[in-house]
Amino acid sequence: MSPQPRIVRTLPALHRAVARLRGTHRTIALVPTMGALHQGHLSLVRLGRRRARGVIVSIFVNPAQFAPTEDLASYPRNLAADLAVLAGSGADLAFVPATETMYAPGFATTIVPGGAAGVALEDKFRPHFFAGVATVVTKLLLQCRPDIAIFGEKDYQQLKVITSLARDLDLPVKILAGPIVREGDGLAMSSRNAYLSAPERAVAPTLSRVLMDCADKITGGAELAGVLERGRAAIEHAGFVLDYLEARHADTLQPIGSLQDGPIRLLVAARLGSTRLIDNVAV
């Protein structure tokens, strides 16, 4: 286990490093990130270390998944802090490409996913998002050539989109899900939590509390529509501007009518001040 991951920035350097890392039939795990690393990311690195011999962490703030109105310019970037977080984590390699490396002049190809990318959740509010994600993830998988790639369940719709992407395009990689890591008060760890003011941070765990309460009630046999209606009201009463609170089939993300219709995932997105938070929980 390397105490400090080796940093590579260019594709030739990456390919040389991957060849050395693989050695003789070594397995490699990739953990794609946009930086601003926290314990949730480290849990994915640890999962990669358990499942593979070598671990690559990519750090790239992908402009293709931000709309002009979103927070690309203000998205937290601190490579020194990220590398300090990774020290001793088990990551062997940090791939830190420039935007020009990922999107060279004349770049003109975009992957537009279907299926779980078009179910009126994140795609309804961020219609540009999954094409940007699918394109950059495909590039990272081809560049790093991992055996395993690990994505967190907090971005649950994204996880389903990427799982389908790898399957549909016959990419030779296994997509693994890392469980959500939460703060002590239940708030899902996220790089965007740093945007919250102190009063907003105190309110933010309402999202996870409402999700857990809804899941308990549904499991106990309460009628789904009524549970969701009361959950939405509780979130808005706490001061959020709600984008959605939905119960969906855990695999397809299609709308679901009752507990008997299949495994359920509850998903929520809401704004608190200028910060948009998402969360989800299994029923």
Q: Which ranges constitute the DSSP H helices of the chain?
A: 11-22, 39-51, 79-86, 99-102, 122-125, 129-144, 156-168, 198-203, 206-219, 224-237
**CA quadruple 14, 17, 21, 23: dihedral positive or negative?**
positive
Catalytic annotation present for 15: no
Report the b/e string of 252-274 with b at 16+ CB within 10 A. ebeebeebeeeebbbbbbbebee
Which phi-psi region, left, alpha or beta, contains residue 206 (left: φ > 0; alpha: ψ -120 to 50)? alpha
For 134, other C-beta atoms within 10 Å of its C-beta total 23
Measured CA angle at 17 (ends 106, 140), to 5 deg: 40
CA 109/CA 107 separation, integer angstroms? 6
**Cα 61 off chain centre by:** 13
- Tokens describing residue 73: 């310019």
- Tokens describing residue 167: 């399957």
For 236, other C-beta atoms within 10 Å of its C-beta total 13
CA 133/CA 119 separation, integer angstroms? 16
Q: Which of 15, 38, 41, 249 is catalytic?
A: 41
Report the b/e string of 158-185 with b at 16+ CB within 10 A. bbbbbbbbbeeeebebbbbbbebbbbee
Q: Which residue in 209, 256, 267, 279 sits closest to 237, CA to CA?
A: 209
Q: Active-site residues: which are they? A: 41
